Amino acid sequence: MAIEKVKQFFESRGEPEKVVEFEQSTATSDQAAQALNCEVGRIAKTISVFVDKKPVLILMSGDMKLDNKKFKNRFNCRPHMIPVDEVEKLIGHAVGGVCPFAVNEGVPIYFEESLRRYEYVYPAAGSSNSVVKLTLEELPRYINFSDWVDVSKLK
């Protein structure tokens, strides 16, 4: 199970308390915001897309969606979501728990500019009922990210 990989990931860094699990689902940005009693934008959802037929993750605010024009300008292709039945194999986490921690080797991770509005955000932690609270300064310590990108717009 992917949450176990994420727990081991944080345990190996001496911070097992980072992963928080809930009774209720946090699989969508709205559900996670409700469970945390916070604004939806603080939920750092992880989008799984293909860029040049290779899997890529984009961590963005939960109140945003991909902007096709911005995406094409940045990546020179249209965004193509990874099919649900392929996400776990290509990324290492199933839909509902896709997160930027303990992903398959070689998957680039981008941070979306929408996250910069917040001091801290809540990415998922490998299951449909878990999160991790991290400041923007902490994110690069736990996530080997490629770059910041501007590829979103408000929902």
pLDDT in tens, 108-142: 999 999 999 999 999 999 999 999 999 999 999 99
Count H helices and E strands in the chain, helices first.
Answer: 5, 11
Alpha carbons 85 and 132: distance in angstroms, whole number: 25
Q: What integer pLDDT is reported at residue 97 of this predicted model?
A: 86
Give the list of residues 6+ apart from residue 75 with CB closer than 8 angstroms, or none: 51, 52, 56, 151
- pLDDT tens-place string over residues 13-46: 999 999 999 999 999 999 999 999 999 999 999 9
- For the segment 33-60, the average pLDDT, to the nearest whole number, is 97
Domain boundaries, the chain: 2-148
Are the CB atoms for 91 and 103 separated by under 8 Å?
A: yes
Query: 1 pLDDT exceeds 70?
Result: no
- pLDDT tens-place string over residues 69-81: 999 999 999 999 9
**What CA dihedral angle connects 149, 99, 8 and 14, to 10 degrees?**
50
CATH superfamily, region 2-148? YbaK/aminoacyl-tRNA synthetase-associated domain (3.90.960.10)
